[in-house]
A = this chain, B = another copy of it.
Amino acid sequence: MSNILSKLVTLIAMFRHWLKKGPILLVFVGLVAPVVAADDALPSWNDGPSKSAIIEFVQLVTDKTGSRYVPAERRIATFDNDGTLWVSHPFYAQLAFAMERVRALAPKHPEWKTKQPFKAILENDQATLGKLTEHDLAEIVMATHAGMTPQQFEAIVQQWLETARHPRFKVRYTELVYQPMIELLEYLRANGFKTFIVSGGGIEFVRAFAAKSYGIPRWQVVGSSIKNKFELVDGKAQLERLPEINFIDDGPGKAVGINAHIGLRPIAAFGNSDGDIEMLEYTDSGKDAHLEMMVHHDDAEREYAYGCDTKVGRLCEGIELAKERGWQLISMKNEWVRIFAFDK
């Protein structure tokens, strides 16, 4: 920020006597615009340590004359999705989707009326739902995400994204993407970065909205997955989604997933929970200049406030590590002018 200001002051001084001449003013405006752009690209960020860290890092790695210059082909930035790019409370959007699917499919599964965890979903039994285990979640995913082609699955997700509403904000989930992060994605891309999503959520779930919501193409989404089977049906080749876990892109899996899909160590990584620690450690251990940040949910009024006290996007060990390793915590409360595009 101060860097930008000093450049502006110098420019204004240089052009001072020209300012008296009308037509030259246009030239001046044209010259200054690109310098201001870097800063203006993040209008939803308050001046503060996070915004400074981002801008200074981008200047560092894009400065061809500097010793920490990183060529564009290695400017890889990875973003967790739930809680980092969009709301993940009171529960993950994909879980809301899966529960909706359980209700829709229930007529074909009379046995669910007496079988957990399906019974709890159908009866909206909050006490039981609050205690779902990993195994319960896997069972819900298997029952609702498999047995169709990837194209059919995506059409169902698209339909749900159009019709479902968040329980607190009463808007579509895609309206609950964080505006400061959208600006950050665009700012990084404008500076030659390739942006990737590295989500614990389902890769095909996230792909259904990544291009439209984040400007990220489908092949730049990394996520958890179930297996697929190739088959010919009436001479047409298609894939069928199987009720079998293929890969869990969470914790250490995030570093593995990054290597499998991207094949390069990121130089910038953004998360919000303990499940992102290994992704940040992997980024932190590279030879190039690197940046690691954690979105800190500390704004109960405009969004949510949580840390060690939740199972959804728990950030606990990560807070300590951030201090130790010099990772930047982004205070949603203090550093974000607005959280959603619809905020003033």
The docked-state distance in angstroms from the alpha carbon of A281 to that of B259 is 29
Closest to A196 in B: B219
Closest to A264 in B: B218
Q: How many A residues touch B, CB cutoff 8 Å?
A: 40
Digit string of A208-244 for contact with B (CB within 8 Å is 1, else 0)? 0001000001111100010011101000111100000
A278 contacts the other chain (CB 8 A): yes
A301 contacts the other chain (CB 8 A): no
A260 contacts the other chain (CB 8 A): yes
Contact B263 A218 (CB under 8 A): yes
The docked-state distance in angstroms from the alpha carbon of A73 to that of B281 is 33
Contact A255 B239 (CB under 8 A): yes
Contact A256 B228 (CB under 8 A): yes
A33 to nearest B CB, angstroms? Answer: 29
A150 contacts the other chain (CB 8 A): yes
Cβ contacts under 8 Å, A253 to chain B: 230
Contact A219 B262 (CB under 8 A): yes
Cβ contacts under 8 Å, A236 to chain B: 285
Closest to A231 in B: B252
A247 to nearest B CB, angstroms? Answer: 9
Beyond A211-B73, A238-B285, whether A228 also contacts B263 by CB under 8 A is no
The docked-state distance in angstroms from the alpha carbon of A263 to that of B210 is 12
Beyond A219-B220, A220-B219, A237-B255, whether A230 also contacts B263 by CB under 8 A is no
**Selected A-B contacts with CB under 8 Å, 13 pairs:** A151-B265, A203-B263, A204-B263, A218-B264, A225-B260, A228-B256, A229-B252, A236-B285, A237-B278, A237-B282, A238-B285, A239-B282, A246-B260
